[in-house]
Amino acid sequence: MKRILTGTLVGGIAMLAAGYVIWDVLFLDFYQANPGAAENLWRDAPVWWAVALGTLTLAALVTAVIEKCDDLNVVSGFKWGGLMGFMIWLGVNMILHGYSNFNSLTIALVDPLLEFVRTGIGGAAIAAVLARTAGTTSSVH
Amino acid sequence: MDMKKLMTGAVVGGIVMMGLGYLIWEVLFANYFSAWDSGNDMIWWSAAAGSVVLAMLLTMWLDKSGAKAWMDAAKSGAILGFTLWLGLNLLFNAWDGGANLMLHLTDSVLEAVRWGITGAAIAMVSGSKAATSDH
């Protein structure tokens, strides 16, 4: 449980930071240029406690998967985290595009690629911290 | 993991997920979730593609967690579905100006039901496939 909590916290912080750089700095203009049909969808300012809690919950899922990896290192963490981020957001974005005016098809397809990078970075951070913990405890594996 | 098993789980799971999604959100809880109704026709291919991708993720999760019996797969699927959608719904609540937190939380609970049943279905198909290939 301590490993899951540690991975969740470290991964969550890494994902929040990477998410800010990707969506609020680097790709902000791209997202604003390709909106969904829904009007007034976005809040003027996000509810940060919900962003943090949601990101930590997703980081817990990534930690649960990476924790079971035999080869625990930064590269495998990036691959598993990236794969999970890509699949989760491709699936969710396509469903949202199918049911709602939340996103355009362009965003639904590009967003999972950016999530691959973001969740990959989170996965790498999680693997790094779990590998360190594995080296300092005797109860692992 | 075995590619045939992954594809079988993705297709069977995707169909079950789509069917349950229709039953839960379009029939049983349609009035409750009416605030989310965009008023436009649904894009079926997009919803189906999304369901198949998420079913593939669930199949990989079940394989990694070692849940082979349908009851274990139902529990494991429900945990994944609830955790995943709780995270996603909290993010949607954070961004969406018209969000209703209670709707998002209820949605996460219903997703646990949907993913649990889908997990059981995937385990049943995977189990019968394994049994067939054993003989």
| CA-to-CA separations, A78 to A67, A97, B59, B120, in angstroms, rounded | 13, 27, 20, 30
**pLDDT tens for residues A11-26?**
999 999 999 999 999 9
Give the predicted TM-score (pTM) of the model: 0.88
Residue B51 CB coordination number (10 Å): 25
**Whole-number CA gyration radius for chain A:** 16
Report the candidate in B36, B104, B8 with the shortest Cα–Cα distance to residue A96: B36
Residue A98 has its nearest CB partner, among B43, B84, B97, at: B43
DSSP H stretches of helix in chain B: 3-21, 44-65, 70-95, 101-134
Phi/psi at B96 (5° precision) = -80, 120
Q: How does pLDDT run across A70-90, given as a tens digit for each residue?
A: 888 999 999 999 999 999 999
Of A51, A68, A90, Cβ closest to residue B53: A90
Task: Tell me the two tokens of residue B122.
Answer: 């995937």
| Number of other CB atoms surrounding residue B52 within 10 Å | 21
Q: How far apart are CA B36 and CA A103, in angstroms?
A: 14
Quote the pLDDT of residue B128.
59
User: CA A31 to CA A28: how far, in whole Å?
Assistant: 5
- The residues of chain A scoring below 50 in pLDDT are 137-141
Contact A65 B61 (CB under 8 A): yes
* Predicted ipTM of the assembly: 0.87
* A35: three-class secondary structure by DSSP: strand
Q: Any CB–CB contact under 8 A between B30 and chain A?
A: no
What confidence score (pLDDT) does residue A73 get? Answer: 93
In order along its 135 residues, chain B shows pLDDT tens digits of 788 889 999 999 999 999 999 999 989 998 888 877 777 788 999 999 999 999 999 999 999 888 889 999 999 999 999 999 999 999 999 987 766 889 999 999 999 999 999 999 999 998 755 545 444
Inter-chain touch B57–A41, beta carbons under 8 Å: no
- CA-to-CA dists, residue B72 to A81, B65, B115, angstroms: 24, 10, 12
CA-CA distance, B114 to A71, in Å (whole number)?
Answer: 32
**Exposure pattern of A9-19 as b/e (b: 16+ CB <10 Å)?**
bbbbbbbbebb
Strand partners, A35: A103
Q: For residue A137, which phi and psi values (nearest 5 degrees)?
A: -120, 155
Nearest CA distance, B92 vs chain A (angstrom): 8
Q: How far apart are CA A83 and CA B129, in angstroms?
A: 26
Which runs of consecutive H residues, i.e. helices, occur in chain A? 2-19, 28-33, 48-66, 74-99, 105-136
Question: A88: which chain B residues are within 8 Å (Cβ-Cβ)?
Answer: 54, 57, 84, 88
* Interface-testing mutation among A24, A28, A42, A47, with chain B (most B C-beta atoms within 10 A): A47
- Buried/exposed code over B69-86 (b: 16+ C-beta within 10 A; e: otherwise): ebebbbbbbbbbbbbbbb
